[in-house]
Amino acid sequence: MKSSSNWSNFHKIARNSFIAASTVCVTNEFNFSNTCLPDRRSFCFVAGNRSSFVELKSEEEFNNALSKARDGSVSSVFYYTAAWCGPCRLISPVMLELSEKYPHVTTYKVDIDERGLSNAIGKLNVAAVPTLQFFKGGVKKAEIVGVDVVKLRSVMEYLYK
């Protein structure tokens, strides 16, 4: 049996309104410190100068990105995440890899705890993290809730190759 500190981490997450559908228990046994930035609220994404990855910080940025996705001007993936979400940390390197593999697809990282974004996110019925929404030709073509790397790779390949 795991120590009680591991279970306390589970209870902290369970009290939040956003819970990853595939999460059973999150422990602190995994060490992400070698892959994450010093600011623990930001994830392991360091996209450099690649224009295919954009971190949205305000409702205005979010609304502009969603408008571009819905009017068909850009193919895009919206990656809804949270700093406290263990499964989000597990999938973040895969998201970075895929944003590099498909540079013509804009990947938008949306931290659900970012101030000013909760109203915009609420309108889209995002109820769990990680949630991935895939847009192509102005239409939401797919959505993945939870961590399913095989499905993620398949959807990206099918929609954006």
Active site residues: 85, 88
Question: Quick one: which of 84, 121, 106, 112 has its CA closest to 156?
Answer: 106
How far apart, in whole angstroms, are the C-alpha atoms of residue 50 and residue 2? 41
Triad 122, 125, 20: Cα angle to 5°? 105
- Spatial distance between the Cα atoms of 65 and 74, rounded to a whole number of angstroms: 9
- Please, are residues 133 and 77 in contact by the beta-carbon 8 Å criterion? yes
Number of Cβ atoms within 10 Å of the Cβ of 101: 14
Q: How far apart are CA 31 and CA 36, in angstroms?
A: 10
